[in-house]
Amino acid sequence: MSFPNTPGPGQLPMPSRRLFVQGAAAGGVVAGLVASGLPGRAFAAAGPSVAGAPQVLSGTQMDLSIGESLANFTGRTRPAITVNGSLPAPILRWREGDTVSVRVANALQGHPTSIHWHGILLPANMDGVPGLSFNGIAPGQAYQYRFTLKQSGTYWYHSHSMFQEQAGLYGALIIDPLQPAPYRFDREHVILLSDWTDMDPGALFRRMKKLAEYDNYYKRTLPDFLRDVRKDGWAAATADRGMWGRMRMTPTDISDINAHTYTYLLNGTAPAGNWTGLFRSGEKVLLRFINGGSMTYFDVRIPGLKMTVVAADGQYIHPVSIDEFRIAPAETFDVIVEPSGQDAFTIFCQDMGRTGYAAGTLAVRHGLQAPIPARDPRPLLTMSDMGHDMTHVPNSMSGHGSNGMSGHAMKGMEGGCGANMGHGTHGGNAKAPRHAPSEKGNPLIDMQSMATEPKLDDPGIGLRDNGRNVLTYGAMRSLFDDPDGREPGREVELHLTGHMEKFSWSFDGIPFAGAEPLRLNYGERMRIVLVNDTMMQHPIHLHGVWSDLENAEGHFQLRKHTIDMPPGTRRTYRVRADALGRWAYHCHLLYHMEAGMMREVRIEE
């Protein structure tokens, strides 16, 4: 099936100066052809069909065209990948029970492409992962996706080809339910968060491999050390610096890539663009939050408004009233707010490292804007965050592991950090994990957990004791019981592993290229145990089936498609292997997946 190429030079108008400046100042998108240093390449118009309003496509049959456009979020015009000329891609609106047919055409020049329907239950050959589900969509070709919708809720779609997701190929996907939702609302808005870089995404990945700490501008200095001496004393301050030095790590390394490289977007708009969603005072407004960021965790609040969380990853939960939530890449949360008492409220979404933010406005009319709050103080990682709380050592854990340490064992610490480094209990459910033989002596692993726990009630670094009521996994519970009902028949434990300096990421120390598939028997109910051996946070996504998170006692608690894994955690979830085929299983930090934190899962009869 062929598809015409993008229009050639001269077929689109040059952008007006007004449009270009608007794009530069507001973080908008630029239409037309610009002298971009890319000879012979044609670009379609980019951006929503109406200023500030996203394209919305509905119905059971539709055509999507993946092409190249020019975008300007920072004052520099850069190439982007768009769907039907839009960044983000159009919102797709479907209905539970319908069979949809989507023809996706590749208008890129010289690059294959794909679309993955994130969190959607469908046949393996419709999942959109090149090399596993299908061969990808070659330039000038098209692929017909066709599947029946077995669920409802808030989801999203994105490319699974190289770094195209980072370059703009992502969009919201809303499936309306057959039965009325268990809550009432008067209007709704989709809030799609993302991160944009002016760099070529492939070049950014190469930079991470060469210097993973490039964006860490906040390494501690001599004045910081002197301040810590005054606060904690000479011995404590020098011991702390020595420990971090032996680990060859820094407590300011919160995220791999931050606002020194990224511009954070809300519905494709930088903060200066002031994306606005309207409301009338007293209305119940449903906000469908989606984190389409490639590498960014966002901490979200709306100063002056309580939020009631009613769904997680598209699935209804018992309502939870909060002030703030952290949303990992690929997660979705539906919240209800009831704005009144003022004409405008700021949707404030700061990154986890507090280096920047995305923002928008809820208002009674366009043109209004509420104050944007100051970013919270930058957090520092502690030994407890990394599994090294020396004050809570489970006696049975002391001395575990080849290095004689509990908590995390670090390469470079063997000679100087001492034994009996335990993990903070946070509920007393710490367990000694079973490390695979592939982890032993592995040059691609720089740390290893020795005692971990679920930490389901921990808001996370930078959110504890901040005076706000912060959402946790422990506070959420599905509105239904375990849909399968069976106890798991077997258990598989996998470790999230990596080496910070080498920017190498894997499961059990084996990058994707060298890993054997994880095989599941069709129809079985099994338990997956994930243990985070690293100091980074990882959102883990298993394609094709649900991930039913268990509580600390091993009982079903929350149905999700993406399980977030903070450092030092051991989390378990149940899987019903009811979808035959080959499926991707990976960290949803895009560059971690590309660097090796991915496995193939085969569900076989």
Contacts of residue 602, Cβ cutoff 8 Å, sequence gap at least 6:
517, 518, 519, 520, 581, 582, 583
Are 346 and 436 within one domain? no
pLDDT at 217: 52
Tell me the C-alpha distance between 144 and 266, whole Å: 30
Q: Is 363 a member of any domain?
A: yes
- Contact status, residue 533 vs residue 452, Cβ threshold 8 Å: no
The half-sphere exposure of 276 on its side-chain side, counting CA atoms within 13 A, is 17
What pLDDT digit, counting tens, does each position of 43-100 carry?
333 444 334 567 999 999 999 999 999 999 999 999 999 999 999 999 999 999 999 9
- Contact status, residue 539 vs residue 328, Cβ threshold 8 Å: yes
The helix/strand/coil state of 276 is: strand
Are 444 and 480 within one domain? yes
Could you tell me how many helices (H) and strands (E) the chain has, helices first?
Answer: 5, 33
Burial 498-534 (b: 16+ CB within 10 A, else e): bbbeebbbbbbbbbbeebeebebeeeebbbbbbbbbb
- Contact status, residue 115 vs residue 159, Cβ threshold 8 Å: yes
Beta bridge partners of 265: 194
Q: Is 221 a member of any domain?
A: no
Are 389 and 515 within one domain? yes
Of 152, 180, 208, at which residue does a domain stop?
A: 180
Contacts of residue 461, Cβ cutoff 8 Å, sequence gap at least 6:
254, 352, 379, 381, 385, 566
- For 354, the domain range is 185-216+252-380
Are 560 and 586 within one domain? yes
pLDDT at 52: 53
Are 314 and 422 within one domain? no
Burial (Cβ within 10 Å: 0-12, 13-18, ≥19) of residue 84: middle
pLDDT at 251: 52
Residue type, 215: D
Count: domains in the chain: 3
Q: Is 595 a member of any domain?
A: yes
Q: Is 574 a member of any domain?
A: yes
Of 380, 409, 442, at which residue does a domain stop?
A: 380
Of 380, 397, 414, at which residue does a domain stop?
A: 380
Are 482 and 365 within one domain? no
Residue type, 399: G
- Contact status, residue 205 vs residue 163, Cβ threshold 8 Å: yes
Could you say which residues of the chain have pLDDT below 50?
A: 1-25, 31-51, 219-222, 224-225, 237, 241, 244, 246, 388-407, 410-428
- Contact status, residue 108 vs residue 81, Cβ threshold 8 Å: yes
Burial (Cβ within 10 Å: 0-12, 13-18, ≥19) of residue 398: middle
The half-sphere exposure of 132 on its side-chain side, counting CA atoms within 13 A, is 26
Are 143 and 170 within one domain? yes
Are 153 and 115 within one domain? yes
Would you say how long the chain is, in residues? 605
Are 400 and 371 within one domain? no
Residue type, 181: A
Tell me the C-alpha distance between 344 and 333, whole Å: 22
Beta bridge partners of 301: 324, 348
pTM of the predicted structure, to 2 decimals: 0.85
- Contact status, residue 451 vs residue 383, Cβ threshold 8 Å: no
Return the biggest CA–CA distance within the chain: 74
pLDDT at 372: 97
Beta bridge partners of 299: 326, 350
Token reading at 404: 């004689």
- Contact status, residue 449 vs residue 387, Cβ threshold 8 Å: yes
Are 360 and 429 within one domain? no
Site of tokens 């050390």: 225
Tell me the C-alpha distance between 157 and 116, whole Å: 6
Are 152 and 47 within one domain? yes
- Contact status, residue 398 vs residue 406, Cβ threshold 8 Å: yes
- Contact status, residue 345 vs residue 303, Cβ threshold 8 Å: yes
pLDDT at 211: 86
Q: Is 112 a member of any domain?
A: yes
Q: Is 227 a member of any domain?
A: no
The DSSP bridge pattern shows strands 556-560 and 547-550 to be antiparallel
**Domain of residue 192, CATH code:** 2.60.40.420
Are 443 and 498 within one domain? yes
Q: Is 247 a member of any domain?
A: no
What pLDDT digit, counting tens, does each position of 234-285 carry?
666 465 545 545 455 555 558 899 999 999 999 999 999 999 999 999 999 9
Strands of 59-115 (E only): list them. Answer: 61-71, 78-83, 89-95, 99-106
Q: What single-letter DSSP state applies at residue 438?
A: G
Token reading at 573: 């979830």
Q: Is 10 a member of any domain?
A: no
pLDDT at 25: 40
Tell me the C-alpha distance between 560 and 252, whole Å: 30
Tell me the C-alpha distance between 495 and 145, whole Å: 34
